[in-house]
A and B are shown apart, each in its own frame.
Chain A
Amino acid sequence: MSYQSLSLNSEPVEAGNDTLPHEETVARQARPLRFITCGSVDDGKSTLIGRLLWDTKAVKEDQAATLRRQSTGKQNDLGLPDFAMLLDGLQAEREQGITIDVAYRYFATARRSFIVADTPGHVQYTRNMATGASTADLAVLLVDARSGILEQTRRHATIAALMGIRQFVLAVNKIDLAQYDEAGFNAIARTFREIALSLGVCQITAIPVSALKGENIVLRGDDEMPWYSGPTLVEVLENATQRTGQTTGFRLPVQRVSRPGEGFRGYQGTVAGGSIKPGDSVVVLPSGVEANVKAIVTYDLVRNAAVHGDAITLVLDRPVDVARGDMIAAIDQRPLTGRAFTARLVALSADGIVPAKRYWLKAGTRRQRVLVRPTSTLDLATGNWDDSHVVPVNCIGVVELDFEELAIFDPYETNRDTGSFILIDPETLNTVAGGMIDGKRSKPGRFDTLPDADRATITLPARLLEAFLKTEFARAHAGEIRITGG
């Protein structure tokens, strides 16, 4: 069988649409699915997205006419316009023939609507890919059937997985130029599956496609590929799952306090986890004051409950001191609070992230000063972590964060909304990094900050251990060794 889809993901997810009754009404039964496409111009990425927009009729006639005017002489042999011209919206991009920045596209099928973040493929635009990936539920990785998995495929998969994407689609494009070779496709799919599984991504679908000819994108390519029985790209997208952020308790980062007059005091924000209803007990962080929910106020009058994603105004049953940047959370499922955390981040600015520099950190609605200490950097080419005290631009680093005041987070793995942050340079005020919280740091030992993959456990007889600990090497790396057992 050439198509396999493993679903080992045990996280609670919101059903896409598979349980929904009528075709024509289904599109309105789900939130838009957000996904990213990764690959380079050479892989036919623009053609793939163009094909999606074209075959779902998202391109209008006047846009197509502009396209035809601009792409004279560049039309392909099927008489279709040059899709890259449609997608690369900036003049510099059209002049250079490359995609520089993330572009957002919108299309819908009868069953669902989609927001695709079209991200550049080159290594110098890794930061733009990370930006697109931060809000995506699924990644479509594109390879050329003739060249198979490249270093950049591995890099794209690594970044997508790091940013929390747990569903991959491998689109093996230009399958027509590879003579619709089933064995070749299977070999590529196998290699990719190994990479994805090593990154902790278990929902993987590989599809042989020809974006140019429109095979297995929206329409099936059965004539040329009778051996492929799996879904088309659009079918996978229609059935993809969305994260709901329900793995943590109730979270409301407070955006503003509404006091329109005497007697009303409401806390406005967007529910970033869990759900809430009147009568529930909550804690205000960082102060730790407890209260009960009196009402959930919206423009459409009073609601009996609110869930993750809802923009609400919360009224509590007693006067408490709450300010912007505070977090209102479930009393029995509190987030982590502390002054020391570990995180991974993507450096977005040319200067990189430098040690012992104080940045502004914004997480949810909370902005505070932070000291950032990089401890290792991921080499995207090899997948190895190196010791490094600077995280260069477009690189991913493990860092230690130290705050002057209490910080409030959940690990990114359990909550994307309350586990993510940006760093802002205090001088330029630019956004210089996007980060994901791994956990709280109790003691500042190097061992605790190492990624699992870089740790090895060895078992030694006690007398050998003593001898080992006396060596110069062990003394120099004392912070990286943890001794257990007895």
Chain B
Amino acid sequence: MNVIEHGRGKPPLDPHLKALENEAIHIFREVAAEFERPVMLYSVGKDSSVLLHLALKAFHPGKLPFPLVHIDTGWKFPEMIAFRDAVVAKHGLELIAHTNPDGVRDQVSPFSHGSSRYTDIMKTRALKQALDIGRYDAAFGGARRDEEASRAKERIYSFRTPDHAWDPRNQRPELWSIYNGMIHAGESVRAFPLSNWTEVDIWRYIQAESIELVPLYFAQRRRIVERDDMMILAEDKRLELLPGEQVREEMIRFRTLGCFPLTGAVRSDAATLDDIIAELEIATVSERQGRAIDRDQSGSMEKKKREGYF
């Protein structure tokens, strides 16, 4: 059958992206229908932007039947916060920004406490606090199975104990596209509509759907400093230079966005979506390569996830 989509003046999605979009919308609707207090984790990055776009599609012509939660560590790129606020205003969304008050009190920073303790306090614990405060029984996240080896084994409905822990050896079987949304009081699920997407899929979809992104994803001359084999953005006053470190300008962009002191840039001339997709097709390193928190030890993502990290 010949299917024609009218309006918005864009060509229809190719069957590959259409299948991924259909699956994600199905998951959004299923969770919204089966859980009492769903919430969407919104990290402002490219995957979150795709996730939000899919959510808007899933519930059109209605509004999102759940709020967004942003775990703000206080160390995000300032451009991320500005972008977040603009998106929230544009779509009339309900956003809850949460920062771990204990971390603020103890002045926890990636510089003073090390990346691993900092991540635990400002991200993992902050996330648990936000979920507990809202008594959410389902939380959407933008994680993808192709990101990391332990993620490859995660279910689309990832079951969590009342302590938010993930038990990789005791996951519920997930057959066909039938999801088991039954839980006891206090338990919850993390739902991952983008499970089957790859990084290239994300970028192709952003291009096909004209989804707006934080400008940091696009190459530009920016001030950086080299530290621990990473190029860190040196445009924030809070970054204190260590002896021997020098700020220089480079043509760079970011493949993922997190906390600025922990996110490495890549040298790139890719200033448009076309450039980025072309760059990815020949890329030889994975996107998480720029993330300091993944490199401590292999299996560290699994460890963090068992403790409640997304």
Contact = CB atoms under 8 A, between A and B. Distances in A.
Contacts, number: 199
A127 B174 CA distance: 10
Contacts of B176: 134-135, 416-417, 420, 422, 434
**B2, B29, B184: residue with the most chain A Cβ atoms closer than 10 Å:** B29
Contacts of B148: 89
Interface residues of A, number: 81
Interface string B117-135: 0000000000000000000
Contact of B180 (A306, A362, A363, A417): A362
Interface string B10-39: 101011111111100110011011000000
A146 interface: no
Given A70-B298, A260-B63, A128 B3 contact: no
Nearest to A416: B176
Contact of B177 (A69, A89, A135): A135
Interface string A402-427: 00000000000000110011101000
B222 interface: no
Contact of B62 (A29, A32, A115, A260): A260
A270 B178 contact: no
A360 to B, nearest CB: 7
Given A103-B153, A258-B59, A430 B172 contact: yes
Contacts of A429: 180, 182-184
Contacts of A301: 5-8
B153 A89 contact: yes
B25 A127 contact: no
B268 interface: no
A221 B286 CA distance: 30
B199 to A, nearest CB: 10
Given A29-B14, A60-B283, A255-B30, A89 B1 contact: no
A449 interface: no
Given A130-B175, A364-B178, A421-B178, A28 B60 contact: no
Interface string B140-154: 000001101111110
B178 A86 contact: no
Interface of A: 27-32, 60-63, 66, 69-70, 86-92, 94, 100-106, 108, 113, 115, 127-128, 130-131, 134-135, 255-256, 258-260, 264, 266, 268-270, 275, 277, 297-307, 309-311, 313, 324, 348, 360, 362-365, 416-417, 420-422, 424, 429-431, 434
List 10 A-B pairs, minimum CB-CB distance, nearest first: A89-B149, A301-B7, A260-B62, A311-B25, A299-B57, A28-B14, A60-B286, A134-B175, A434-B175, A31-B19
